[in-house]
């Protein structure tokens, strides 16, 4: 299975942009890139996902390298509430409704600290 | 927020005793998952279900069994708890068309003494 590599920790200041990197040099052409985050004392929550093109939603943006060997989660203006562990996950494409369609493998993630 | 509850939220039990954790959803989602989270290991999938009475093993299934007799309930059982099963257990759900977008419950902290 393809693996992801993330920095153990990063720091940011409030209201500044944050770029969280993820390397996945062994990604296959059918692997989707997902990001989840886990706030303190809570379960993880879905942030964003993509395959080849950059993606934006209300929470963040996902920039995917042209060769797909790396990606970056972008928080445009960090808030204190964004302090969390951020997980970059590869998901093998599968048919919707299939038995293993939703299986995700979480790594260690990046601990993001946001300073006031 | 997705309607997911876990019970109990905290439990202390002794080695060798059986333990059942319950995950209940009100979203009618097809997929349900049990994860455990330990320091240094992140979240690891124990078992998952892709429908009523349809379950499969995850990466750390030894020592655990699951059952799903109704769409809304997914039970995780430790037949004979061991200290290595001390952990925080999370349940998650997802719908068929977006199974990769999982919604997590609040977690159950289990301590086996």
Please determine, for residue A4, whether its predicted confidence score (pLDDT) is greater than 70.
yes
pLDDT tens-digit readout, A10-21? 999 999 999 999
Phi-psi region of A87 (alpha: psi -120 to 50; beta: other; left: phi over 0): beta
**Which residues make Cβ contacts (< 8 Å) with residue A34, sequence separation at least 6?**
A46, A48, A49, A88, A89, A90, A91, A104, B100
CB atoms A107 and B48 under 8 Å: no
| d(CA A99, nearest CA chain B) in Å | 6
pLDDT band at B1 (very low <50, low <70, confident <90, very high): low
pLDDT band at B82 (very low <50, low <70, confident <90, very high): very high
Nearest to B96 among A32, A96, A108 (CB): A96
pLDDT band at A93 (very low <50, low <70, confident <90, very high): low
Count CB pairs under 8 A between chains A and B: 66
- Which of A93-97, B26-30, B94-98 is predicted most confidently? B26-30
The pLDDT score that the predictor gives to residue A21 is 97
| d(CA A102, nearest CA chain B) in Å | 4
Name chain A contacts of B96, Cβ cutoff 8 Å.
96-97, 101
Instruction: Count the neighbouring beta carbons within 10 Å of the beta carbon of residue B24.
Output: 18
- Search chain B and give the residue with CA nearest A8: B40
CB distance from B107 to chain A under 8 Å? yes
CB atoms A108 and B42 under 8 Å: yes
Residue B53: C-alpha distances to residues A65, A115, B31, B73, B99 (Å): 41, 47, 11, 11, 18
Note whether B92 and B37 are within 8 A (CB).
no
- The four Cα atoms B67, B73, B74, B78 give a dihedral, to 10 degrees, of -70
Picking from A8, A2, A3, A12, the residue whose alpha carbon sits closest to that of residue A86 is A8
Instruction: Count the neighbouring beta carbons within 10 Å of the beta carbon of residue A86.
Output: 24
Interface of B with A in 17-76 (CB under 8 A): 30-31, 33, 35, 42-45, 48, 50, 54, 56, 58-59
Please determine, for residue B95, whether its predicted confidence score (pLDDT) is greater than 50.
yes
Q: What is the mean pLDDT of chain A?
A: 89
The pLDDT score that the predictor gives to residue A96 is 47
CB distance from B5 to chain A under 8 Å? no
Longest dimension (CA), chain B: 41
Tokens read off for A18: 């944050």
């Amino acid at each position: 299975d393809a693996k992801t590599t993330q920095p153990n920790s990063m720091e940011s200041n409030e209201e500044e942009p944050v770029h969280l990197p993820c390397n996945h040099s062994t990604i296959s052409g059918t692997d989707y890139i997902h990001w989840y985050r886990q706030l303190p004392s809570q379960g993880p929550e879905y942030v964003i996902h993509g395959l080849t093109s950059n993606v934006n939603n209300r929470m963040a943006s996902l920039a995917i390298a042209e060769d797909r060997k790396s990606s970056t989660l972008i928080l445009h203006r960090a808030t204190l509430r964004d302090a969390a562990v951020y997980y970059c996950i590869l998901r093998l494409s599968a048919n919707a409704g299939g038995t293993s369609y939703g299986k995700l493998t979480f790594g260690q993630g990046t601990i993001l600290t946001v300073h006031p | 927020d997705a309607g997911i509850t876990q019970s109990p939220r905290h439990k202390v039990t002794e080695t060798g005793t059986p333990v059942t954790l319950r995950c209940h959803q009100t979203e009618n989602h097809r997929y349900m998952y049990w994860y455990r989270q330990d320091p240094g290991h992140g979240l690891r999938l124990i078992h998952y279900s892709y429908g009523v009475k349809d379950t499969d093993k995850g990466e750390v299934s030894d020592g655990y069994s699951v059952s799903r007799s109704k769409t809304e309930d997914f039970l995780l059982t430790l037949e004979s708890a061991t200290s290595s099963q001390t952990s925080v257990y999370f349940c998650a759900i997802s719908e068929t068309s977006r199974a990769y977008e999982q919604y997590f419950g609040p977690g159950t902290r289990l301590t086996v003494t």
